[in-house]
């Protein structure tokens, strides 16, 4: 009961004494429609006084006071007045005083209906009056229901959703089948932005004015107090579900059947997954909290109703999200899909963490159970891709054509970039492996991981190395074996060692640049790999420049203490031929790493230039009298240095000239 309704001592309403008896009779039967008094508050006071004077178990009074019949008339007149206004405007808010009287009268009408229906033996007068008051109450509830619909449908600001579009947070990795020659520049394209709108935008959602919320609060309270809780909740729930459907569509999320998802190309699904991730995160961090706050504002005195309505809406939305996630989990698995699967898994994990006391207990448990099931399916797929498919993608690489010019193999680039990116999901993968490794088809996974730990124990890693680290090590060993096999495809031993140096240096530099991979592999592994690179370098020097240096040997060029010109000419000619061939060939070879390229050139120069300078200085004068001396002494020492600096530049011009 409103505090402004103060019961007054029982008294009769003042009516004209000249009313005829028929009027009195009609009034006693509730059939007359007397004019509403000039002061409606007096009617409300009299009704309140009448209700307070009754007891639920007392017999009905022989005659009902006039105020009982005037109250429905008052409400009917107000509804008629409200309905004569614009259809495009809310009915309330024009006259606060009149609005207050309306809700006070409605509260009294509801109490009156309850009181009349509780009389043990109702007479015809009471029954007739109850029918009329109940009819008026139902009419008023219908009016309030329509007003609630109007407020829910038409009082959102025009920018309510467009301003709340979630910012994208995307992670992209190049496809396994795509070109990765420039993988260092473009294979990893990571763009992350905050997916949380500003606090101002959060405060606006769902964009109802304080006046509208106040009206909805009054209407919902009136309907609930009058016993129309179900109708109020259904109306509220239907409109808010529709509003959420609209906002999700405006964000780009549309429900798709599992069959349609399975027919969609993966490239298109990647875009849909990114949209799904952004929408789910935005819902869990912005829309759901704002929606719950809105419900609490409309139903401040009904926390149970507010919680149940929010839980039902959130459950419906989340189930739509989970249907998409479960369909993705059933996609054909491949290594290049791992990251999207992990993104979906992490999104569900974060969503699961938001299931708290805001949800009705039973509903919250149901939602948490559904999320856990979806995570389980995704987790099994992730384990399969990371522990098996990744290994098989290396083992099944049987390409028999060597990479031109000894450059870094595309598989090496791809796998190192892949592992570097995998490390961004290290914590998630550790969690997934721990929770799901026992569910995969090969029940010996855990044992295999431990065995690998023992196999690689000499890497310096502790015995309790994580399953993630051991898997990275295993992939690295498989990649190392693949590079070794690919190197045997080259006919030239020198080019084989250049290929091994290129790939080995690339791997080492990638590991140095990734703290996570370095921690997995350990310092000892890196030192051994550096030693192996030095061995490749040494073998290259021997294969390429060993015979050239023999041409510059001083031995065997003198007889009887005289220089044998014919032998000197032959040595110069042999050197020129060998050096020309090496320069023409190896200037087309590629050493991608600038530091490695510089080291190779410096090491070659440090051996060749002193040897050539010594030979050239010692024997060039022997050919001063020889015709066409340029035919034998083709290069000055400075020329040799210049040509060495052009090695490994990938220059194909010399090959073109040869052709």
State the CB neighbour count (10 A cutoff) for residue 274: 18
Query: Who contacts 554 (Cβ-Cβ below 8 Å, separation ≥6)?
Result: 614, 615, 618
511-530 burial by CB neighbour count: b if 16+ within 10 A, else e?
beebebbbbbbbeebbeebe
What does the block give as tokens for 154? Answer: 């038409």
Mean pLDDT value of segment 44-59: 76
Q: What's residue 469's pLDDT?
A: 92
CA dihedral 112, 115, 117, 121 (to 10 degrees): -130
Q: Residue 441 pLDDT more than 50?
A: no
Mean pLDDT value of segment 576-590: 95
Best mean pLDDT range from 81-90, 529-538, 622-631: 529-538
Evaluate whether 65 touches 43 at the Cβ level (below 8 Å).
Answer: no
pLDDT in tens, 179-205: 344 445 333 433 444 444 444 444 455
Three-class secondary structure of residue 514 per DSSP? coil
Three-class secondary structure of residue 598 per DSSP? helix
Q: What are phi and psi of 170, to 5 degrees?
A: -120, 150
CA distance 299 to 293: 10
Which band of pLDDT confidence, cut at 50, 70 and 90, is reported for residue 438?
A: low
Mean pLDDT value of segment 611-618: 92
CA separation, residue 125 to residues 61, 62, 170 (Å): 10, 9, 72
Q: What's residue 205's pLDDT?
A: 56
Q: What's residue 174's pLDDT?
A: 43
pLDDT higher at 473 or 19: 473
Best mean pLDDT range from 141-155, 160-174, 188-202, 270-284: 270-284
Mean pLDDT value of segment 491-497: 96
Say what percent of the chain tops pLDDT 70.
77
Which band of pLDDT confidence, cut at 50, 70 and 90, is reported for residue 264?
A: very high
What does the block give as tokens for 370? Answer: 């559904």
Helix axes 96-118 and 124-154, enclosed angle (nearest 10): 140
Best mean pLDDT range from 37-51, 115-129, 358-372: 358-372
Q: What's residue 607's pLDDT?
A: 95
Let me know if 396 is exposed, middle or buried by CB neighbors in 10 A (0-12, 13-18, 19+).
Answer: exposed
Query: Who contacts 318 (Cβ-Cβ below 8 Å, separation ≥6)?
Result: 351, 367, 370, 371
Q: Residue 28 pLDDT more than 50?
A: no
Kindly report which listed range (89-93, 542-546, 575-579, 630-634) carries the lowest average pLDDT score: 89-93
Three-class secondary structure of residue 35 per DSSP? coil
pLDDT in tens, 293-336: 999 999 999 999 999 999 999 999 999 999 999 999 999 999 99
Q: What's residue 82's pLDDT?
A: 84
Mean pLDDT value of segment 441-465: 47
Predicted TM-score (pTM) of the model is: 0.78
Q: Residue 516 pLDDT more than 70?
A: yes
The DSSP result for 150-205, as a single string, is HHHHH-B-TTTTGGGPPPP-EEEE--TTS--TTHHHHTEEEE-------HHHHHHT
Of 575, 587, 465, 480, the closest CA to residue 526 belongs to 480
Q: What's residue 345's pLDDT?
A: 97
Which band of pLDDT confidence, cut at 50, 70 and 90, is reported for residue 29?
A: very low
Report the DSSP beta bridge partners of residue 172: 189
Three-class secondary structure of residue 614 per DSSP? helix
Say what percent of the chain tops pLDDT 90.
53
> Which of the following CATH numbers is that of domain 552-658: 3.40.50.970, 3.40.50.620, 3.90.1300.10, 1.20.1280.170?
1.20.1280.170
Mean pLDDT value of segment 541-550: 94
Which band of pLDDT confidence, cut at 50, 70 and 90, is reported for residue 284?
A: very high
DSSP run (H or E) holding 558 = strand 558-559
Q: List the domain boundaries for the chain.
A: 21-154, 162-207+251-375, 397-541, 552-658
Evaluate whether 384 touches 477 at the Cβ level (below 8 Å).
Answer: no
Which band of pLDDT confidence, cut at 50, 70 and 90, is reported for residue 8?
A: very low
Evaluate whether 281 touches 166 at the Cβ level (below 8 Å).
Answer: yes
Three-class secondary structure of residue 402 per DSSP? coil
Three-class secondary structure of residue 563 per DSSP? strand
Q: Residue 223 pLDDT more than 70?
A: yes
| Mean pLDDT of the residues in the chain | 81
Q: What's residue 647's pLDDT?
A: 95
């Amino acid at each position: 009961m409103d505090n402004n309704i103060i019961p007054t001592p029982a008294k009769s309403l003042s009516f004209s004494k000249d009313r005829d008896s028929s009027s009195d009779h009609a009034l006693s039967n509730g059939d007359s429609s007397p004019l509403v008094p000039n002061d409606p508050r007096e009617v409300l006071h009299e009704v309140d006084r009448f209700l307070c004077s009754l007891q639920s178990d007392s017999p009905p009074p022989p005659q009902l006071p006039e105020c009982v019949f005037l109250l429905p008339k008052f409400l009917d007149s107000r509804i008629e007045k409200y309905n004569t206004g614009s259809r495009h405007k809310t009915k309330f808010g024009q006259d606060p005083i009149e609005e207050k009287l309306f809700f006070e009268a409605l509260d009294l009408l509801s109490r009156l209906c309850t009181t009349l229906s509780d009389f043990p033996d109702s007479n015809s007068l009471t029954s007739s009056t109850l029918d009329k008051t109940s009819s008026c109450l139902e009419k008023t509830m219908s009016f309030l229901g329509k007003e609630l619909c109007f407020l829910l449908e038409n009082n959102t600001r025009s920018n309510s959703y467009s301003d709340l579009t979630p910012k994208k947070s995307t992670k992209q990795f190049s496809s396994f089948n795509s070109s990765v020659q420039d993988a260092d520049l473009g294979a990893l394209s990571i763009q992350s932005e905050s997916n949380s709108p500003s606090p101002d935008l959060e405060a606006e959602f769902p964009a109802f004015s304080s006046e509208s919320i106040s009206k909805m609060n009054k209407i919902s309270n009136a309907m609930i107090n009058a016993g129309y809780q179900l109708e109020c909740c259904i109306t509220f729930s239907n409109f808010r579900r529709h509003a959420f459907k609209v906002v999700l569509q405006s964000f780009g999320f549309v429900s798709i059947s599992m069959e349609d998802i399975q027919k969609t190309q993966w490239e298109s699904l990647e875009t849909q997954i990114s949209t799904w991730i952004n929408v789910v995160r935005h819902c869990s961090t912005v829309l759901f909290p704002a929606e719950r706050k809105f419900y609490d504002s409309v139903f401040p005195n009904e926390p149970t109703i507010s919680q149940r309505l929010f839980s039902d809406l959130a459950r419906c939305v989340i189930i739509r999200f989970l249907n998409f996630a479960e369909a993705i989990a059933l996609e054909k698995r491949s290594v290049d899909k791992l990251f999207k699967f992990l993104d979906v898994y992490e999104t569900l994990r974060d969503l699961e963490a938001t299931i708290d006391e805001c949800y009705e207990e039973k509903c919250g448990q149901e939602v948490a159970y559904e999320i856990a099931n979806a995570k389980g399916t995704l987790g099994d797929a992730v384990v399969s891709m990371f522990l098996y498919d990744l290994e098989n993608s290396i083992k099944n690489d049987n390409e028999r054509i060597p990479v031109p010019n000894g450059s870094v193999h595309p598989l090496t680039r791809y796998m190192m970039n892949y592992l570097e990116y995998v490390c961004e999901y290290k914590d998630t993968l550790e969690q997934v492996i721990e929770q799901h490794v026992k569910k995969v088809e090969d029940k010996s996974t855990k044992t295999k991981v431990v065995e690998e730990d023992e196999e690689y124990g000499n890497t310096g890693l502790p015995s309790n190395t994580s399953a993630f680290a051991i898997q990275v090590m295993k992939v690295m060993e498989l990649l190392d074996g693949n590079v070794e096999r690919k190197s045997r495809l080259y006919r030239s031993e020198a080019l084989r060692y250049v290929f091994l140096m290129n790939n080995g240096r690339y791997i080492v530099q990638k590991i140095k640049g990734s703290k996570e991979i370095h921690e997995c592999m350990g310092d000892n592994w890196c030192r051994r790999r550096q030693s192996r690179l030095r061995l490749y370098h040494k073998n290259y020097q021997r294969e390429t420049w060993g015979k050239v240096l023999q041409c510059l040997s001083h031995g065997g060029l003198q007889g009887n203490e005289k220089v044998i010109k014919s032998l000197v000419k032959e040595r110069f000619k042999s050197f020129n031929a060998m050096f020309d061939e090496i320069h023409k060939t190896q200037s087309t070879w590629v050493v991608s790493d600038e530091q490695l390229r510089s080291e190779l050139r410096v090491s070659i120069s440090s051996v060749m230039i002193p040897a050539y300078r010594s030979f050239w200085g010692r024997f060039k004068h022997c050919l001063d009298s020889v015709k066409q001396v340029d035919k034998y002494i083709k290069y000055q020492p400075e020329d040799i240095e210049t040509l060495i600096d052009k090695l490994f530049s990938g220059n194909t011009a010399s090959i073109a000239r040869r052709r």
